[in-house]
Structure 1
Amino acid sequence: MQYFESIVVGQTMRAGAYEVNCADALDFASKYDPQPFHLSDEGTVGTPFERLSISGWQTCAIAMRLYVDHVLSLVDSKGGLGVDKLRWPRPVYPGDVLTLEYVALTKRESRSRPGLGLVEVSLRLFNQDDQLVMDMTTTGMIGCDPKR
């Protein structure tokens, strides 16, 4: 288990290879984002999408899965404070393989919650062609080393 003190600003990591599944995309869209272009190829007519694209919110969920598996599971994560920036510069399509890039941008100890550190991170997802498909900046709470 790593604590706030071990996080290095500027630290960068790439992780994961998550293949987007069409059945999962349709299931997610039908439950949470039932816009026509997330439900069928025919629904993309008159849109900028080439074919059925997955919801940006599902893209965020995939990023979160990769972030938990490859970063948060290794540190004393105490939750998140919110998202400061979120962009989807390119669509994600079923069959795409996504990779997460994590960068620790800033860190500071919490003034209101002793024993917690705040870490601002950049989370970016790239497809198999190394094209940016999601760009997010978020702040999380990481526990400080109790032995210090």
Structure 2
Amino acid sequence: MIDLESWFASGRRLRLGSRHFDEAEILSFARKYDPQRFDAEAARDTMFGGLCASGWHTTAAWMRANVDHWQARLAEARANGEAVPEFGPSPGFRELSWPRPVYAGETVTFHFAAIRSRALASRPGWHLMEHYGEGESEDGTLVMRFEGLFMVRP
């Protein structure tokens, strides 16, 4: 059994990685996943004033950075002979917001910060981890934030 605090110290903010959102990627994601039309020229005349990624695109990029971060951390720990936690499913998230759009040409840096964990009486040996997921633009402006939950077994 491992010490969850050593992996998920409450309040410690981890940098997960960054993602550059270019016009081609924004348009590709929009065509594939968003039920809205995007046109780079027409976007200038919208309330956003330019082409921007959907909030779901930004959130999906956070998830990719999150998965990549934890897979690398687990692989490193295993290579060093350390015990590792078992990640389980997520029962959901709360308070998802996109305070500012992510425009074509911007780079967003994603973060993870543990809030707390508690043992699950209904699932002996498992804990429910609460955390913040965030994305910030290059100038430090918050562009995405949510409170997430996932199960973990030490």
Q: Which TM class, normalised by the smaller chain length?
A: 0.7 to 0.9
The alignment's C-alpha RMSD in Å is 1.9
Provide the C-alpha distance between the structure 1 equivalents of 2:63 and 2:39, rounded to a whole number of angstroms: 23
1:1-148 mapped onto 2 (5 Å cutoff): 4=4, 6=6, 7-36=8-37, 38-45=38-45, 47-71=46-70, 74=73, 75-144=85-154
How far the C-alpha of 1:72 sits from its partner, in A, is 5.8
Contact 1:79 1:140 (8 Å CA) reproduced: yes
Contact 2:43 2:49 (8 Å CA) reproduced: no
| Structure-2 change in CA distance of 1:72 and 1:120 (3 Å) | farther
**Aligned residue pairs, count:** 141
Provide the C-alpha distance between the structure 2 equivalents of 1:137 and 1:76, rounded to a whole number of angstroms: 20
How far the C-alpha of 1:31 sits from its partner, in A, is 1.8
Provide the C-alpha distance between the structure 2 equivalents of 1:101 and 1:108, rounded to a whole number of angstroms: 22
Provide the C-alpha distance between the structure 1 equivalents of 2:131 and 2:53, rounded to a whole number of angstroms: 24
How far the C-alpha of 1:41 sits from its partner, in A, is 3.2
Query: Partner letter of residue 34 of structure 2?
Result: D
| Structure-2 change in CA distance of 1:44 and 1:93 (3 Å) | same
Q: Cα deviations across residues 16-54 of structure 1 (Å, max 9, x unaligned)?
A: 121113222111101221423x44330452x32121111
- Percent identity between the aligned chains? 35
Provide the C-alpha distance between the structure 2 equivalents of 1:23 and 1:34, rounded to a whole number of angstroms: 17
Provide the C-alpha distance between the structure 2 equivalents of 1:127 and 1:5, rounded to a whole number of angstroms: 29
Contact 2:17 2:111 (8 Å CA) reproduced: no
Contact 1:3 1:142 (8 Å CA) reproduced: no
